[in-house]
Amino acid sequence: MNHHSTLAAILLSTGLLGAAAVPAAPAATAATADAAPSVVIVHGAFADGSDWAKVVGLLQDKGVRVTAVQNPLDSLAGDVAAATRAIDNQPGKVVLVGHSWGGAVITEAGKDDKVASLVYVAAFAPDAGQSVEALSKDLPKAPGIDHIVADANGWLSLPPADVAKYFAQDVPARQARVMAATQGPIKGAAFADTLSVASWRQKPSWFVVSQNDRMINPQAQRIMARTIGAKVTELPTSHVPQQSRPADVAKVILDAVASVK
């Protein structure tokens, strides 16, 4: 047997032994864990899952199971598929959170039977048959939109200086530079993708309005929140309240978690 075969055999046997050695969870404990709702967070464009690190930690401190999705940001369908995989991996009901572009994703992915409620954070909330592009045409515009740049292949991003000025003007400069470096470019065509359902029509929703948002006009957020009948919290923040006011955002999510029957 060669070295690689030996290693494979060891790993296989260890895995099998490890699986056999794990005791079954007591039925009551398993049932309790399944009954507790978990949180799935869908980040927006020009960001990734780390954008939510502060809120994730605060929710975990409260004993809430959290998954931050890493969206491919290639299309609405691609992002919905990523969110759905995360939802399917949860043991029970899910509170689905979406930021910015992620609002469109949760509006579609929220049709999943496991999703109990939706939390929009400075997010788009399109209707069925509508795209983010079409929705935006009817809403007040924000200045940061004019600073989005496209590469030769149609992927959009924000230059570092514009992340600091328009996306995250209320976080420390060093933090804004990290956010610019870890941002996820989005395929421009995704904004024209049409939703097939609007899950906010069937499920309760919460909405965090960012009063100083330069990427999605605050008044546009208020219009969308009113349209979907959301429970609204307004915060004096940039487009990323999860970065500048994480405790306040966590409180809204915990309110949604507590409401799950």
Could you tell me what percent of the chain has a pLDDT over 70? Answer: 87
pLDDT digits (tens, 9 = 90+) for 137-189: 999 999 999 999 999 999 999 999 999 999 999 999 999 999 999 999 999 99
Residue 90 pLDDT more than 70? yes
Q: Which fold has domain 38-258?
A: Rossmann fold (3.40.50)
* Helix boundaries (H) for 110-185: 132-137, 160-162, 173-182
Ranges assigned E (strand) in 70-210: 94-99, 115-121, 149-150, 155-157, 186-187, 205-210
Q: Work out the average pLDDT over 60-65.
A: 98
Domain ranges (residues) in the chain: 38-258
Residue 2 is predicted with a pLDDT of: 53
**What pTM was estimated for this model as a whole?**
0.88
Q: Work out the average pLDDT over 26-40.
A: 63
pLDDT digits (tens, 9 = 90+) for 40-55: 999 999 999 999 999 9
Residue 261 is predicted with a pLDDT of: 87
pLDDT digits (tens, 9 = 90+) for 92-122: 999 999 999 999 999 999 999 999 999 999 9
Q: Work out the average pLDDT over 13-36.
A: 46
Q: Report the C-alpha gap between 73 and 120 in whole angstroms.
A: 18
DSSP state of 202: T
Rg (CA), the chain: 20
Residue 16 pLDDT more than 90? no
- From the list 124, 119, 82, 107, the residue with the least C-alpha distance to 195 is 107
Residue 34 is predicted with a pLDDT of: 58
Distances (CA, A) of 127 to 9, 30, 98, 244: 53, 37, 15, 29
Identify which has the larger pLDDT, 261 or 91: 91
Amino acid, res. 19: A
Q: Are 124 and 103 in contact (CB under 8 A)?
A: yes
Could you tell me what percent of the chain has a pLDDT over 90? Answer: 85
